[in-house]
């Protein structure tokens, strides 16, 4: 083998090398790259290379854009805070009623969430938030306020007073009443003066015998009272009193406090009583804590007695005598704000009146309450009852 290899080398020695063209040199590479899998892979590499070259030369097009990374954690929804008493004395408390109670408002029954209740007279009462559709009642006017001799100047406005001839606001501003011997029912609708729509509905669509109670914080309070009396309603003012949970549960800046001094109580009552004229009495707004104060309640009732003003409570202070005249409600008719519940309370009030000879209920000026009361009272006479103003239920202390 060694000799044969030597002969080949000797044979080729001195022969110049053969020149080959570039095409012939690249032919194997071209044949390799022309294979389909290699061509696809090569095209991909070229595209990636071009992109890398573009970024290298021109820079990352997003390099200057701001960026941030944050870990997101879904928090549990916070419970809605319990509204304070002062919020109940504000337009915010009427948000769900303001628009839907307007004249001509159309309510989608699917949104109302309440069934339609048919009353004994065939009328219907729609659910929460529906407009008041009861017909307007003809006016039966009372004398315009103020009546001469029944007020005197106060630090914040005219204060009620007993006239020199013995007349008192509790009688002079009350709606006249004559019993026909039938069991009588009285109703008080309160929270009025803050919402124009519901206040006007209560004034115009409830019978004149229904007593209306106004919030002392209302703007234009005297105008509302004048309108109510022109329609025939006797009126009252609401006295904000300290509730359990005060001050978190706050009825307002002039709340009568159980810890208040006699001077503080007198000052606040001067402001409250001086807000308007024409009311025969006052009623409590909240006040379960204030009612436990003997000193506070005695001073409060003593001021009313000296000024000839009646006090009618919502039923929570029935054991407290005093004021010029007193009465307590037997039922709150709209603790549940549905037509069925309200009509049920009114029917229970009717049964109580037939059993005892008289009964009094109180409620808030929700549209559903105004609607139910308007429809229910329209047939009282046919059911053997007499609708009476709340003043007719009052009694003088010791009588």
Report pLDDT digits (tens) over 57-81: 555 555 555 555 655 555 655 555 5
Instruction: Give the CATH number, domain containing residue 260.
Output: 3.20.20.370
Higher pLDDT, 101 or 290: 290
Residue 77 domain-assigned (yes or no): no
Residue 45 domain-assigned (yes or no): no
Q: What mean pLDDT, rounded, does the chain reach?
A: 80
123: pLDDT strictly greater than 50: no
Give CA–CA dist 234/173, Å, rounded.
7
What's the rounded mean pLDDT across residues 317-341? Answer: 93
Residue 281 domain-assigned (yes or no): yes
Supply the range of the domain harboring residue 180. Answer: 85-136+171-393
Q: What is the pLDDT of residues 199-235, one digit of tens each?
A: 999 999 999 999 999 999 999 999 999 999 999 999 9
Domain count, the chain: 1
Q: What is the pLDDT of residues 352-392, one digit of tens each?
A: 999 999 999 999 999 999 999 999 999 999 999 999 999 99
Give CA–CA dist 86/93, Å, rounded.
10
Residue 99 domain-assigned (yes or no): yes
Residue 20 domain-assigned (yes or no): no
239: pLDDT strictly greater than 90: yes
Binned at pLDDT 50, 70 and 90, residue 125 comes out as very low
Give CA–CA dist 212/47, Å, rounded.
85
Residue 293 domain-assigned (yes or no): yes
CB contact at 8 A, 238 and 214: yes
What are the DSSP calls for 211-258, one per residue?
EEEE-TT-TTHHHHHHHHHHHT--EEEEEEEPPTTTTTS---TTPBPT
Residue 220 domain-assigned (yes or no): yes
- Closest among 323, 269, 271 to 301, alpha carbons compared: 323
91: pLDDT strictly greater than 60: no
| Residue located via tokens 């290699």 | 38
169, containing H or E segment:
helix 169-172
11: pLDDT strictly greater than 90: no
Residue 103: what pLDDT?
37
What's 383's DSSP letter? G
Residue 47 domain-assigned (yes or no): no
CB contact at 8 A, 257 and 296: yes
83: pLDDT strictly greater than 50: no
């Amino acid at each position: 083998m060694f000799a044969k290899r030597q002969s080949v080398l000797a044979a080729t020695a001195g022969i110049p090398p053969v020149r080959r063209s570039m095409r012939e040199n690249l032919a194997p590479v071209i044949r390799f790259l022309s294979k389909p899998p290699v061509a696809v892979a090569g095209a991909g590499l070229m595209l990636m290379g071009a992109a890398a070259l573009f970024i290298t030369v021109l820079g990352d097009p997003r390099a200057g854009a701001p960026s941030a990374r944050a870990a997101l954690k879904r928090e549990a929804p916070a419970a809605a805070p319990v509204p304070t008493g002062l919020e109940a004395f504000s337009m915010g408390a009427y948000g769900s009623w303001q628009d839907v109670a307007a004249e001509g408002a159309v309510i989608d029954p699917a949104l109302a969430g309440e069934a339609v209740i048919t009353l004994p007279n065939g009328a219907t009462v729609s659910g929460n938030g529906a407009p008041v559709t009861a017909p307007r009642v003809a006016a039966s006017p009372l004398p315009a306020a103020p009546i001469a001799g029944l007020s005197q100047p106060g630090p914040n406005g005219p204060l009620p007073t007993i006239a020199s001839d013995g007349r008192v606001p509790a009688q002079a501003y009350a709606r006249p009443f004559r019993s026909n011997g039938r069991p009588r029912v009285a109703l008080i609708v309160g929270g009025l003066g803050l919402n124009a729509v519901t206040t006007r509905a209560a004034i115009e669509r409830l019978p004149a015998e229904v007593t209306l109670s106004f919030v002392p914080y209302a703007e234009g309070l005297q105008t509302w009272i004048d309108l109510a009396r022109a329609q025939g309603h006797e009126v009252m003012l609401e006295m904000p009193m300290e509730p359990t949970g005060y001050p978190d549960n706050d009825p307002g800046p002039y709340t009568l406090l159980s810890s208040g001094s006699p001077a503080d109580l007198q000052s606040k009552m001067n402001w409250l009583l001086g807000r308007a004229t024409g009311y025969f009495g006052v009623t409590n707004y909240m006040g379960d804590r204030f009612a436990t104060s003997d000193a506070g309640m005695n001073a409060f009732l003593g001021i009313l007695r000296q000024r000839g003003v009646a006090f009618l409570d919502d039923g929570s202070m029935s054991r407290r005598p005093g004021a010029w005249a007193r009465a307590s409600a037997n039922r709150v008719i709209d603790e549940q704000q549905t037509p069925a519940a309200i009509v049920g309370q009114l029917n229970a009030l009717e049964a109580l009146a037939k059993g005892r000879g008289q009964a009094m209920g109180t409620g808030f000026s929700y549209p559903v309450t105004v609607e139910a009361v308007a429809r229910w009272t329209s047939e009282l006479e046919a059911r053997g009852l007499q609708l009476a103003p709340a003043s007719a239920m009052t009694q003088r202390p010791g009588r």
